[in-house]
Structures are given as structure tokens and as C-alpha cells.
Amino acid sequence: MNNQTLQQLRSRMDDLNIKLLDLLSERAAIGRQIGEIKQSEGLPLHDPARENEMLDRLAARNAGPLEEKAIRHLFQEIFKATLEVQQPKKKPLLVSRKSKREDTVIRIGNTEIGGADSVLVAGPCSVESLEQVMEVAAALKKAGVPVIRGGAFKPRTSPYDFQGLGFEGLKLLKEAADEYGLQTISEIVTPAHLEEAAKYVDIIQIGARNMQNFELLKAAGDMRKPVLLKRGLAATMDEFLHAAEYIVSRGNSQVMLIERGIRTYEKWTRNTLDISAVPLLKQMSHLPVLVDVSHSTGRKEIMAPCAKAALAAGADGIMVEVHPNPAAALSDADQQLNLGEFAEFIREVKSSGVYRQSAP
């Protein structure tokens, strides 16, 4: 007898569940219509005062057996779910693979970044003199490195440290690059310098400290020049990709991402190379991904293994600092490879199985 009653009650409960579900769905559909009207009127979707009114009315009507607290809680959840239905579907970021499945390939001169072959970018931390950049450019040419880097506007921690040669530095970099048929890359720190810099620089670098300098990102987005965007000192993947979105959403689709180490508690390296960033960025985004083994590690003896790890993880290229006389360098003296170390670094990376090269 008891068993039969239980079955009957359960069956009524199942019917009520269905009725509740139908009512909730009907309520959500009305909520969606309200959301559309609110949006067209420019009204906020969330209206806490109206929610409180509805809760008070329900609480006043409640005759039990459910407690008022339970009623309020249940309806608050219903309101929350309705609000979610009202939110317009967010469009995927332009930099994401959801927007574009194929890899973005950036061409500068005869070099492709993000294509079939791995790419190497090298050069001094700062441009210091014509002789210095000429010597480095010659070493790059010999090693088959197509892109020379060199800072002219240096974002230094101390205002008393060498700040870079400015436009004069960019001219020297370009002179050396032209002499050896290389492409140039250099950091620009203010929108006001972009137009003039574009005469000398093939790829505009936006440094870690400026990853969220939104006016600079927007101005770079208005240009039609490739941009190398460095990950911020403590930037999450989401922040990094949104920074790239600032550039791409202005119509400049030629953006490369570069992992340059993040700040952690570890002191044995200058920063912590976040190798997981490489496959994550490659999976989430169609933009080329590079790894800067100099600023991430700050240690010469682990740069080659880290470069190989980066390529094995799917990086499209590697950036490394090289200086003819690192001990006398005006910035980052400790981490720059000398020309001999550089030649060995390139040999080791290029001869590894993870370096992709279709033609020798």
C-alpha cells in the first residue's frame, strides 16, 4: 500500500517538475523579449530594485511550507539565469582561432613569420653605435638570421640608466640592416613616434611594459606595419590576447605575440619562461608566437635548451640578444651573447630536430 502511494506521489512530482520547467522556459522567453526592449532603449539589463520588489511580493504571498529564505534564494537563482539568457552572445575575439582557423603568416622581405619555417630574430639590447650594429648585422647575415633587433627607445627601470639613442639609433639600425639585407625590429614607446619610426623599422615592437598602453596599441592598430607584441611582466593569457585584439580590431592584422617570461618568486632566472604560453597561444590564436630567450631567462647557459623547448612546444620563432662586447654593453650586459656564443647558439638551435627549415 505504502509502496503504491510512493509511486503515485513520485509520478505527481515528475509531472510538477515538467510543469515547472515549462513555466521557467516561458518565463525565460519573456525575459529575453524584455532584454531586447531594454537593449534597444539603452536600459541596463540588470535592475536590482525591480528584483527586490518581485522578491518582496513573493515573500508576502508565501504561505509555506517552504521558508521565505528558500523562496528568496530560489527566485534569485531564476533571476540570475534569466539575466544570462538576456546577455547578447559575445563575439569571439578577432585574434582567436574561433574567428580565423588558418595561421596568420606575416611576410617581411623574403621572410615569413608564422609559416612553415622557424624564424630567428637577434641583435643587441640597445643600438649603441654604427660599428656595433654593423658587426652584429654581419654576424646575423653569416648565421642566416634574417631579422635584426635593437632598442633605440629603451624603457629602463631607472631614469639614470642609458635611455637609448632615439631616432638616431633607428637610423643606425636601418643602415646596418640595409648593408646586409636584413629586416629591422625596434621598440616604440609612444604613439607620437610611430610614423617617423616606420621609415626605419620593418616591425614595430611593443614592449612588455607597454603591453597595456592602450593608446599605443590603438595607434599601432591604425598602422599597416607588422607589430611584435611582448607579453606584459605579469600578464595573463587573456590580457595578452585582449591587448593584441586592440591592434587587430583597428584593422592591423599583422600582429605577432612573444612570450618573454613573467615575474615569479624565482630568482635564478631573470623572469620565468612560461613555456605553457606557447601551445596555449597557438591553440587559442592564429597569430604567430615567438619566444624571447634572453629576457625570459637572463642566463646564457640555458638559452639554447629553452629555445629548443620553445620550438618543440610550437613556437614560430626565437628572439635572442647578441652584442660584440657584452661586458661593455649599455644595457643588459649580463645576458647578451658575444659573437662566438651567438654562432654556437644558432648552430645548436638550427641543428636540433625542432628547428623547421624547408630550404637550407
Chain residues that interact with ligand PEP, rule: CB under 6 A = 125, 151, 155, 187, 207-209, 230, 260, 292, 295
* Residue 92 binding: pick among ligand PEP, Mn ion, none (C-beta 5-8 Å cut-off by kind): none
Nearer to Mn ion, 125 or 176 (CB): 125
The set of residues, in sequence order, having a beta carbon less than 8 Å from that of 28 and lying 6+ positions away, is 81, 82, 85
**140: contact with Mn ion by CB under 5 A:** no
Pairing state of beta strands 111-113 and 106-108? antiparallel
Positive or negative torsion for Cα 177, 183, 189, 193: positive
Minimal distance in Å, beta carbon 126 to Mn ion?
7
Minimal distance in Å, beta carbon 56 to ligand PEP?
55
With CB under 5 A as the rule, give the number of residues binding Mn ion. 2
CA angle 216, 91, 225 (to 5 degrees): 30
- Which residue is it, cell 509511486? 7
Instruction: Output the CA–CA distances (angstroms, integers) from residue 126 to 19, 87, 97, 152, 179, in the order listed.
Output: 71, 49, 35, 6, 19
- Kindly give the residue spans of alpha helices, DSSP state H, lying in the chain: 2-41, 48-61, 68-86, 130-143, 167-180, 194-197, 214-221, 237-248, 277-284, 293-297, 303-312, 339-351
Fill in the amino acid letter for 271.
N
Nearer to ligand PEP, 31 or 324 (CB): 324
Minimal distance in Å, beta carbon 85 to ligand PEP?
43
Tell me whether residue 211 is exposed, middle or buried, using C-beta atoms within 10 angstroms of its C-beta: 0 to 12, 13 to 18, 19 or more. Answer: buried
Among 95, 120, 122, 125, binds Mn ion (CB under 5 A): 125
Nearer to Mn ion, 316 or 332 (CB): 332
Nearer to ligand PEP, 31 or 207 (CB): 207
Do residues 116 and 358 lie in contact, with contact meaning Cβ atoms separated by under 8 Å?
A: yes
* Residue 135 binding: pick among Mn ion, ligand PEP, none (C-beta 5-8 Å cut-off by kind): none
* Residue 174 binding: pick among Mn ion, ligand PEP, none (C-beta 5-8 Å cut-off by kind): none
Nearer to Mn ion, 245 or 332 (CB): 332
* Residue 208 binding: pick among ligand PEP, Mn ion, none (C-beta 5-8 Å cut-off by kind): ligand PEP
- b or e along 85-113 (b: 16 or more beta carbons within 10 Å of the residue's beta carbon)? ebeeeeeebbbbbeebeebbebebeebbb
Minimal distance in Å, beta carbon 142 to ligand PEP?
23
Instruction: Output the CA–CA distances (angstroms, integers) from residue 29 to 24, 49, 89, in the order listed.
Output: 9, 21, 16
Nearer to ligand PEP, 260 or 282 (CB): 260
Minimal distance in Å, beta carbon 331 to ligand PEP?
8
Alpha-carbon span 149 to 132, nearest angstrom: 12
**332: contact with Mn ion by CB under 5 A:** yes
Minimal distance in Å, beta carbon 207 to ligand PEP?
3
| Nearest residue to ligand PEP, scored by beta-carbon proximity | 207
Minimal distance in Å, beta carbon 325 to Mn ion?
15
**128: contact with Mn ion by CB under 5 A:** no
By the criterion CB under 5 A, which residues form the site for Mn ion?
125, 332
